[in-house]
Structure 1
Amino acid sequence: MNMVQAGQMATLEVIRVAPFGFFLSAGDEDILLHKNEAEGELREGQKVSVFLYIDHEDRLAATMKKPLLTSGEFTWLYVSDVNRKLGVFLEMGIQKQLLLSKDDLPKEWASWPQRGDKVFVGLKLDKKGRLLAKLGLDVELQEMEQEAGKDMLHKEVSGYVYRVIALGAFFFTEEQHIAFLHRDDIKGVVRLGQRVSARVKSIREDGRLNVTQNPRKVEAYQEDSEQIYQILKDRGGAMPFSDQTDPDTIRDRFGISKAAFKRAMGKLMKEGKIYQEEGWTYLTSIKQK
């Protein structure tokens, strides 16, 4: 009875040499090791270590090339191609690429990995015994995960996203910490497999990180005040917005909350750069003229 299957490493005996390759014995089945997948000339009776996979004709085949991933393991693999009908294809160190099915990918296309991204995966078999990738999660990362110390607070961390959910995204940092990026702390859209950077805003009791891509408040005040000051200059020194303007108008016009707007305006007034009158804001330099 044949006990070998795709995704495994196996030591098999060469039982027949053919012009196009070598046939290996696997119980009641002969497995082809194509010449392109062999290392050097092999002879009958020789035992070789091979990786088993399903070829393009749905046959169990062998290669002597070392794969980046075998059954029971999880690792990070690069995305080599994206097919919206099928999923994403991953480089695993052999000629055959590994498919991560669209059924295992986020529903939103914008959250799918792109070429060059890196995803954390293991191997599984479909109903026909073909190799597929399966996404790794926290439980598979635990063997590598390190508990973060308090010295990580406010530090910049980078890593690859391994899970995307409605509330945000999880990524694994270069320091081997699990970090959570809440959707309110994300700039733009974060996709599975993307390399992201963020600042540590808190450290959980279990040693995991909560991170943000938003600037610190001091930096945010500076950016907001500079934006408002530039808008005033572009408008010739006056604009029909002030602390009395409704929040929706402020968000539509400036892209920030009313609280952030008032803080930035307060900063500019404290610096003597602007003043307000009857619902309008003016550059002080205009008044001085």
Structure 2
Amino acid sequence: METKKPGLVYTLKVLRDSDLGYVLDLEDGKEVLLHKAEAKGKYEEGGSVEVFLYQDHEGRLAATETIPKVRLDSLAWLEVAGVNHKLGVFLHIGIKKDLLLSKDDLPESWDEWPHIGDKVYSGMKLDKKGRLFADLATEEEMVEQAESATEAAFNQQTSGHVYKINESGVLVFTEEQHIGFIHNDELKVKPRLGQKLGARVAFVREDGRINLSMKARKEVAYSEDAERIYQYLRENKGQMPLTDKSSPDEIKATFQMSKAAFKRALGKLMKEEKIIQENGKTYLQI
């Protein structure tokens, strides 16, 4: 006779009605309570009901008619409901009790842990004591549900959740079900697991995966940098003590951009005859 395990859905026989709820037969000499707060209908002795088995807050086996988003035999995108640095993160699965994703399965750095509202693709697992825990999807399981991108995706904006962080960058699963990679050089934030990121498709690979960038295309970036410099000049009496000969540190201190980007932006403004450079300064051209 199969032993009923928490984390799965079963159709069980109603043995009797009690003050607290319905006592169900586990068919192995054991019983489980379907609390009236977890029951969706009224049942007679001898009837049957489909329930999900889990452990309640006191570690006792319990039943609910609410079928969660994920089970031992399935995977789903689960939202982070809470964070406890001593234990891990709690995932909302659709029932009253959240599922713990252990700190042992999370990055070593707390900075890379998911925040409340982030989403991770996860299943369930039982530990050696028979307790339910969240189980992050493997790379193979992510690939199984992924779709191959086509050239039509190139240069399109997309968004997706981070499912893996490595030394080179992050892997995300996009809304179009594509697997995307964002190199560290193309990130504009310090990423965390489960975080939703928006990015542009910079390259479609032969294997159907995509390379993503959170940065604007170069020609767009040039224009944005030039506009920042132009506005700075307008707000500072039409001049600044910086030119294309200034040091990288001076430029970064004022504009938080590289010297190369600064020179490109100045070149654009000079070509448009909006500025001139004289005696170590840059002036608006009136």
Residue 19 of structure 2 corresponds to 19
CA offset digits 1:93-124 (Å, max 9, x no partner): 21211112222223333332222222211101
Q: Is the CA contact (8 Å cut-off) linking 2:9 and 2:67 kept in structure 1?
A: no
Q: Is the CA contact (8 Å cut-off) linking 2:8 and 2:73 kept in structure 1?
A: no
Distance 1:2 1:59, change over 3 A: farther
State the identity as a percent.
51
Aligned equivalents of 1:4 and 1:168: distance in 2? Answer: 42
Q: Is the CA contact (8 Å cut-off) linking 2:7 and 2:71 kept in structure 1?
A: yes
Question: What letter is aligned with 2:33?
Answer: L
Aligned equivalents of 2:73 and 2:6: distance in 1? Answer: 12
Residue 61 of structure 1 corresponds to 62
Aligned equivalents of 1:278 and 1:59: distance in 2? Answer: 80
CA offset digits 1:151-198 (Å, max 9, x no partner): 111011122222233332222112111111222111223322222211
Residue 46 of structure 2 corresponds to 45
185-194 or 144-153: bigger deviation: 185-194
223-232 or 163-172: bigger deviation: 163-172
Deviation at 1:224, TM superposition (A): 0.7
Residue 259 of structure 2 corresponds to 258
Aligned equivalents of 2:253 and 2:141: distance in 1? Answer: 43
Question: What letter is aligned with 1:167?
Answer: S
Deviation at 1:46, TM superposition (A): 2.2
The runs of at least 4 aligned residues of structure 1 exceeding 6 Å deviation read none
Q: Is the CA contact (8 Å cut-off) linking 1:119 and 1:193 kept in structure 2?
A: yes
Question: What letter is aligned with 2:57?
Answer: H
48-57 or 99-108: bigger deviation: 99-108
Question: What letter is aligned with 2:17?
Answer: V
Superposition pairs of residues 179-190 of structure 1, within 5 angstroms: 179-190=180-191
Q: Is the CA contact (8 Å cut-off) linking 1:75 and 1:122 kept in structure 2?
A: yes
Aligned equivalents of 1:60 and 1:238: distance in 2? Answer: 73
SS state at 2:145 partner: coil
Deviation at 1:282, TM superposition (A): 1.9
Aligned equivalents of 2:138 and 2:202: distance in 1? Answer: 23
Residue 127 of structure 1 corresponds to 128
Aligned equivalents of 1:135 and 1:38: distance in 2? Answer: 30
Structure 1: state its 5+ residue gaps: none
Deviation at 1:130, TM superposition (A): 1.5
Residue 10 of structure 1 corresponds to 10
What TM-score comes out, normalization by structure 2 length? 0.92
Aligned equivalents of 2:9 and 2:83: distance in 1? Answer: 28
Q: Is the CA contact (8 Å cut-off) linking 2:222 and 2:261 kept in structure 1?
A: yes
CA offset digits 1:196-224 (Å, max 9, x no partner): 21100001121001011101111111111
Question: What letter is aligned with 1:271?
Answer: E
Superposition pairs of residues 1-289 of structure 1, within 5 angstroms: 3-26=3-26, 27-285=28-286
What TM-score comes out, normalization by structure 1 length? 0.91
Aligned equivalents of 1:284 and 1:276: distance in 2? Answer: 9
Task: State the number of aligned residues.
Answer: 285
Aligned equivalents of 2:230 and 2:58: distance in 1? Answer: 66
Deviation at 1:278, TM superposition (A): 3.5
Q: Is the CA contact (8 Å cut-off) linking 1:160 and 1:171 kept in structure 2?
A: yes
Q: Is the CA contact (8 Å cut-off) linking 1:147 and 1:177 kept in structure 2?
A: yes
- Alpha-carbon RMSD: 1.8
Aligned equivalents of 1:68 and 1:282: distance in 2? Answer: 62
CA offset digits 1:25-80 (Å, max 9, x no partner): 22032222212122322222223221111111211111121111111211101222
Aligned equivalents of 2:253 and 2:140: distance in 1? Answer: 43
